[in-house]
């Protein structure tokens, strides 16, 4: 109990590693502890797609040469429930990097910068006036909870549960086949709840394949999710031992950023994009904000909440509005049609789905025009 860290980060995934990196970027002499229940490298249920925006954030944090971990995937291909197709080159290429590789690289970068990494599962959080004590023995001036969708820190803070309508459910596996080596492929399903299958090409061959439903009420069993994926991706069967499921708290659900010395970032802060299920950009971006606020001691929580609002409020508003529309198959048909006809609509969709973008009025007008045209047809 004699040692007090400046910042203790619970969870060493992208949000936690980004938090540690930002603290040490601002204060190289800070004492930072990274805690994680797993040993790295470790697998993580994910599509493994790393958006260009993520790599730019990490480059700004001083993490070198992440592009070497996976080749550029220049194209994004989307098919709507009605069979409308858009396949365009993105303004900046995305990459596919297995999370076992990507996350370990970020942890190594944080440790090289000066963070201490310790394998430990946090079970208790005791918030005091001048410090936070974890499990009765780990003391820190500020704690950042970046411990994922099932965050213990979030639960112990008394955060509300994420409702089913704001929880996505997904399965992921690795297939020996590749649908398109140059493209992130997304095939939208027709149904009551928004859902899609994906196929992302892996470095060295094969692909990450999966299926996600953006409302837990429509998820069904593991077998039903696998069957839905097979329907949309015939002939791209994942190896059975690689199939894993996960649930994701969408940003349309309640967000919890209390005052004081404990902050939340990434999935623990319900930062999953409700249109795509993408969470790595939001994890890194919110981790960067948490790392900066963590240096403020007792004022950290209020500062982090203000920073998150400034940074994400408009993006979340647009995402929430559009997420209410995507269960309408005709709307998705119209959006994909407009993106195929207009590069500007495609670019706006990529930025909204993979970064912190919004929906420009001009893009929405083109989607609306396509919607009317499809209705006449």
The tens digit of pLDDT for each residue in 203-233 reads: 999 999 999 999 999 988 999 999 999 999 9
Report d(CA 226, CA 197) in Å as an integer.
10
Predicted TM-score (pTM) of this structure? 0.96
Which pLDDT value is given to residue 1? 47
pLDDT at 377 over 80: no
| HSE (side-chain half, CA atoms, 13 Å) at 324 | 7
- When pLDDT is cut at 50, 70 and 90, the band that residue 77 belongs to is very high
Report d(CA 29, CA 64) in Å as an integer.
21
Helices (H), 294-357: 300-323, 329-341, 343-354
List domains and CATH numbers for the chain. 4-73+96-163+251-320 (3.50.50.60), 164-249 (3.30.9.10), 325-376 (no CATH)
Helices (H), 2-51: 14-26
Which pLDDT value is given to residue 254? 85
Report d(CA 309, CA 144) in Å as an integer.
17
Which pLDDT value is given to residue 209? 98
Q: Which residues contact 195 (CB under 8 A, 6 or more apart)?
A: 188, 189, 211, 212, 213, 214, 218, 228
Length of the chain: 377
pLDDT at 2 over 80: no
- When pLDDT is cut at 50, 70 and 90, the band that residue 64 belongs to is confident
Summarize the confidence of residues 197-206 as an average pLDDT: 96
Summarize the confidence of residues 326-346 as an average pLDDT: 96
- Cβ atoms of residues 287 and 265 within 8 Å: yes
Neighbours of 376 (CB within 10 A): 5
Q: State the DSSP code for 189.
A: P
- The CA R_g of the chain, rounded to the nearest whole Å, is 20
Helix 361-376 and helix 329-341: axis angle, to 10°?
A: 120
Q: State the DSSP code for 157.
A: T
Neighbours of 2 (CB within 10 A): 4
Q: Taken in order 351, 356, 360, 364, is the CA torsion positive or negative?
A: positive
- When pLDDT is cut at 50, 70 and 90, the band that residue 116 belongs to is very high
Summarize the confidence of residues 40-60 as an average pLDDT: 96
- Cβ atoms of residues 108 and 217 within 8 Å: no
- Cβ atoms of residues 170 and 277 within 8 Å: yes
Mean pLDDT of the chain: 96
Summarize the confidence of residues 45-67 as an average pLDDT: 95
Percent of the chain with pLDDT over 90: 94
């Amino acid at each position: 109990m004699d040692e007090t860290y400046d910042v203790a980060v619970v969870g060493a995934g992208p949000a936690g590693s980004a938090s540690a990196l930002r603290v040490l970027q601002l204060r190289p002499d800070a004492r930072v502890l990274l805690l994680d229940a797993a040993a790295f490298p470790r697998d993580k249920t994910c599509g493994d797609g790393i958006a260009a925006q993520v790599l730019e954030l990490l480059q700004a944090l001083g993490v070198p040469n992440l592009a070497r971990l996976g080749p550029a995937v220049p194209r994004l291909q989307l098919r709507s429930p009605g069979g409308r197709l858009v396949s365009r080159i993105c303004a900046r290429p995305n990459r596919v990097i297995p999370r076992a590789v990507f996350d370990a690289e970020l942890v190594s970068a944080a440790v090289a910068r000066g963070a201490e990494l310790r394998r430990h599962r946090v079970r208790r959080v005791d918030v005091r006036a001048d410090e936070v004590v974890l499990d009765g023995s780990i003391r820190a001036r500020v704690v950042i909870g970046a411990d994922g969708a099932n965050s213990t820190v979030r639960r112990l803070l008394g955060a509300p549960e994420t409702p089913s309508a704001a929880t996505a459910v997904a399965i992921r596996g690795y297939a020996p086949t590749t649908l398109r080596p140059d493209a992130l492929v997304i095939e939208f399903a027709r149904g009551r709840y928004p859902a899609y299958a994906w196929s992302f090409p892996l470095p060295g061959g094969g692909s990450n394949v999966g299926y996600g439903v953006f409302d837990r009420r429509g998820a069904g069993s593991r077998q039903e999710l696998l069957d839905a994926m097979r329907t949309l991706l015939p002939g791209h069967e994942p190896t059975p031992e690689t199939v894993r499921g996960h649930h994701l708290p969408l940003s349309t659900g309640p967000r919890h950023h209390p005052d004081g010395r404990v902050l939340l970032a990434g999935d623990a802060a319900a930062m999953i994009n409700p249109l795509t299920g993408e969470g790595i950009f939001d994890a890194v971006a919110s981790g960067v904000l948490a790392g900066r606020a963590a240096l403020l001691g007792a004022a950290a929580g209020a500062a982090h909440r203000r920073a998150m609002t400034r940074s994400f409020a408009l993006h979340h508003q647009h995402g929430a509005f559009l997420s209410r529309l995507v269960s309408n198959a005709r709307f998705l048909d119209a959006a994909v049609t407009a993106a195929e006809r207009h590069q500007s609509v495609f670019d706006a969709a990529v930025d909204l789905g993979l970064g912190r973008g919004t929906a420009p009025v001009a893009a929405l007008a083109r989607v609306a025009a396509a919607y009317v045209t499809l209705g006449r047809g």
